[in-house]
């Protein structure tokens, strides 16, 4: 039984870290990027992810509330985060050192 308890504790810690990361990521993204990506609003996702984080802290992993929180966190990480990250520029600067006039297929040359 001790091995099962250790595995459940590790899963619970992983779930807390995952939901905490999603909450922090949602907090540092720009508010207007959520609206531009048509993914609800920043306060909506902060409330949902905050509730998921608190639920993961308070309830055991085998109850249904952490599973609902996990689903909300996965939706944010898989759907909302990439869209908001693309709108806001990725947060890590431009890769490849392109200029601000670069389009998706290379530099824009003004029709020349």
Residues 6+ apart with CB under 8 A from 62: 8
CB 79 within 8 A of CB 42: no
Q: Which residue in this structure is represented by tokens 């990506």?
A: 37
Q: Is residue 40 helix, strand or coil?
A: coil
Q: Which residue has the higher pLDDT, 99 or 42?
A: 42
Give the range with max mean pLDDT: 1-5, 41-45, 95-99.
Answer: 41-45
* Bigger pLDDT: 82 vs 62: 82
Mean pLDDT value of segment 58-74:
90
Q: For residue 88, what pLDDT band results from cuts at 50, 70 and 90?
A: confident
22/50 Cα distance (integer angstroms)? 9
The model's pTM is: 0.74
Instruction: Residue 28: count other Cβ atoms within 10 Å of its Cβ.
Output: 8
Contact status, residue 16 vs residue 70, Cβ threshold 8 Å: no
9 pLDDT higher than 70: yes
The answer, yes or no, to whether residue 63 has pLDDT greater than 90, is: no
In the chain the first and final C-alpha atoms are separated, in Å, by 72
- For residue 111, pLDDT beyond 70: no
């Amino acid at each position: 039984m001790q091995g099962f308890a250790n595995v459940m504790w590790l899963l619970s810690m992983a779930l807390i870290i995952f939901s905490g990361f999603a909450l922090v990521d949602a907090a540092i993204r720009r508010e207007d990027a959520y609206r531009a990506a048509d993914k609800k609003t920043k306060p909506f996702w902060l409330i949902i992810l905050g509730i998921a984080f608190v639920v993961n802290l308070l309830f055991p992993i085998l109850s249904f509330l952490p599973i609902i929180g996990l689903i909300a966190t996965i939706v944010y990480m898989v759907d909302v985060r990439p869209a908001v990250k693309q709108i806001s520029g990725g947060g890590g600067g431009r890769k490849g050192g392109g200029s601000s006039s670069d389009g998706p297929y290379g530099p824009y040359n003004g029709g020349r």
